[in-house]
Amino acid sequence: MRVVRQILLALRHGLTRPASGCGCAALVTHRLPKRDPPPGRSCYDADMALIVDIRHWLDERGELPRVNVQIFRQALRVAQLIEAGGPLEAGQFRETLVACSCRPTRKPCLGLLWVEKAEDDRIWAYCVTCKREEIWISGWQGTLWAEGPMEPASHAMFTPPQNVN
């Protein structure tokens, strides 16, 4: 049986709950023991994966929180993973340009995270280089980044229509 433990990211990062947002358990994450724990440490805690519901990190408009730079950076990183993983079909995966945050052997991992769409529609992000960073993202479906990068825009799109009379 997998034991689910709840921790506050605030404890790890020294953050406080954002002033805006849904007001529920903001920044609360769940960490699950990995199925086959390797020896040594992961970038979070030994044998743990970060599980996040991105809705708890966004403001009331569904945008990135601007009240704290550390929270902003964390939320931005997850948003980038959503942008890459949201458009995938179940079972598909791709590489992102999000750098791994682990420091195996006390040196930064130079790997990039991959994202995969899980069967339960969550986005699973992981580092194939060090195999230590692992993030499960839920609540992404209604976000601004769910359908991938924004469509190409040009200046013409923002020019008022010409008066042809």
CA distance 48 to 40: 12
Q: Which residues pair with 71 in a beta bridge?
A: none
Q: Which stretch binds Zn ion (CB under 5 A): 17-25, 68-76, 130-138, 145-153?
A: 130-138
Provide Rg for the chain, Cα atoms: 18
**C-beta neighbour count of 98 within 10 angstroms:** 22
Measured distance CA(34)–CA(25) in Å, rounded: 24
- DSSP 3-state of 56: helix
With respect to Zn ion, which residue has the nearer C-beta, 95 or 121? 95
Which residue, 50 or 64, has its beta carbon nearer to Zn ion?
A: 50
Alpha-helical runs (H) found in 47-142: 69-85
Q: Which is nearer to Zn ion, 86 or 104 (CB)?
A: 104
- In this structure, are residues 92 and 101 in contact, taking their beta carbons and an 8 Å threshold? no
Name the minimum Å distance from CB 46 to Zn ion: 16
Q: How far is the CB of 127 from Zn ion (least distance, A)?
A: 3
Q: Which stretch binds Zn ion (CB under 5 A): 47-55, 59-67, 88-96, 119-127?
A: 119-127
Of 130, 140, 134, whose CA–CA distance to 104 is shortest? 130
Applying CB under 5 A, the site for Zn ion has a residue count of 7
Single residue of 111, 134, 140, 143 touching Zn ion by CB under 5 A: 111
Establish if 130 lies at the interface with Zn ion (CB under 5 A). yes
Among the residue ranges 1-9, 12-20, 123-131, 146-154, the one whose residues contact Zn ion (CB under 5 A)? 123-131
> In the set 16, 20, 68, 129, which binds Zn ion (CB under 5 A)?
129
Pick from 82, 102, 115, 123 the residue near Zn ion by CB under 5 A.
Answer: 102
**Cα 133 to Cα 58: distance, rounded to the nearest angstrom:** 22
Binding-site ranges for Zn ion (CB under 5 A):
100, 102, 109, 111, 127, 129-130
